[in-house]
Chains A and B, each alone.
Chain A
Amino acid sequence: AQSVTQLGSHVSVSEGALVLLRCNYSSSVPPYLFWYVQYPNQGLQLLLKYTTGATLVKGINGFEAEFKKSETSFHLTKPSAHMSDAAEYFCAVTFTSGTYKYIFGTGTRLKVLA
């Protein structure tokens, strides 16, 4: 069965520190992978996506993620956290064949400490 797992429902980092949010997926077909961010009382906004090609993808606000097929992972990183990065982050997967069901992880709430 296809699934997405986000390790850590809450992550706290100091301002200026590395941000690492983990995402692992399970899929029997090639995946498309996404990271979305949700600020309070707002909808989800796309941060970045992987479809094909380069496995290191860069997104908005200095975030990037690397697709590692051997590890079935798509972890999100940012070298230096900013207070404005405090939000909830969702990893999502859909598939290159079959239905267009998007499966979302349970989310990771990022807290940035001053």
Chain B
Amino acid sequence: DAGVIQSPRHEVTEMGQEVTLRCKPISGHDYLFWYRQTMMRGLELLIYFNNNVPIDDSGMPEDRFSAKMPNASFSTLKIQPSEPRDSAVYFCASKSTQGAGELFFGEGSRLTVL
């Protein structure tokens, strides 16, 4: 079975540019989470969706960040404009309502903003 698929794996951009990160959750999973990982702050929850609806976006750092889930198989995290402090690894994870509820993570998108 395909796991959570993220793209791009690596992104290098210049300050002020728009960045779009993409995620395809595991088929049948109805929860999707976006996390950010940095050395200083560890793993931070940015936002999560249930059945394509944003449930909690309290972790989104500021208005430059936005996330959408137009359908059950696709989500984006957009940063506009990007800043050097946004440099991090961004993870997408999904889970099913059924079962014990573990998260399944993608391999992450490493973002470097120069």
Contacts and interface: CB of A to CB of B under 8 A. Distances in A.
Interface of A: 32, 34, 36, 41-46, 49, 51, 90, 92, 94, 99-107
A100 B42 CA distance: 19
Interface in B18-70: 31, 33, 42-43, 45, 48, 50, 55-56
B91 A49 contact: no
Contacts of B100: 32, 49, 51
Interface residues of B, number: 22
Contacts, number: 52
Contact of A94 (B55, B101, B105, B106): B101
Contacts of B95: 100
Interface of B: 4, 31, 33, 42-43, 45, 48, 50, 55-56, 91, 93, 95, 100-108
A105 B43 CA distance: 8
B48 A101 contact: yes
Given A43-B108, A44-B91, A100 B101 contact: yes
